[in-house]
Amino acid sequence: MDERNTKQKALVLQAVRNHHSHPTAEEVYLEVVKEIPNISLTTVYRNLNKLAQQGVIKRLLIPDQPDRFEKNPTKHYHVCCKVCGSFDDLEDVDYDYSMDGFLCKKSGFFIESHDIIFKGLCFNCQKKNNI
């Protein structure tokens, strides 16, 4: 890997680590482009995927939404607000490791891991809607 690639990758990682939550590739790009004005979104995306493959960061696949990335690669659940779209870690429920490494009796499917995104209303949207 040449020097330019190393610098790109380091800045991409730094942008994910400095972000307060779960940035999309575009949000990471907007940070990295401040340091490397000629970098492309494709390059940022490629670096994000490489870092995710290496287990340094985590890539979250969300139905009907762009992928998000986060600095915490450990297993945990998420919440997504259906009104404002805010996306966060769920801190009230621990990851259920007993579900992993589970062989389904009927289908023979072997479960390696699982992701759960709980849908609902964030605190701010509840206040706005007077619920």
Q: H-helix or E-strand containing 42?
A: helix 41-53
116 is an interface residue for Zn ion by CB under 5 A: no
User: What is d(CA 82, CA 84) in angstroms, rounded to the nearest whole number?
Assistant: 6
Site string for Zn ion, 6-35 (x = CB under 5 A): ------------------------------
CA atoms within a 13 Å half-sphere pointing along the CA-CB vector of 77: 13
Give the residue, chosen from 33, 62, 81, 117, that forms a contact with Zn ion under the rule CB under 5 A. 81
Its sign, for the CA torsion 129, 83, 89, 97, is: positive
CB neighbour list of residue 76: distance below 8 Å, 6 or more residues apart: 89, 90, 95
Provide, rounded to whole angstroms, the least separation between the CB of residue 105 and Zn ion: 31
Provide, rounded to whole angstroms, the least separation between the CB of residue 93 and Zn ion: 13
12: tokens are 């991409």
Give the residue, chosen from 57, 70, 79, 87, that forms a contact with Zn ion under the rule CB under 5 A. 70
89 is an interface residue for Zn ion by CB under 5 A: yes
Which three-class secondary structure state does DSSP give residue 116? coil
Stretch that binds Zn ion, among 3-11, 12-20, 83-91, 104-112 (CB under 5 A): 83-91
Provide, rounded to whole angstroms, the least separation between the CB of residue 27 and Zn ion: 14
Provide, rounded to whole angstroms, the least separation between the CB of residue 72 and Zn ion: 6
User: What is d(CA 77, CA 116) in angstroms, rounded to the nearest whole number?
Assistant: 5
90 is an interface residue for Zn ion by CB under 5 A: no
Interacting residues with Zn ion (CB under 5 A): 70, 81, 83-84, 86, 89, 122, 125
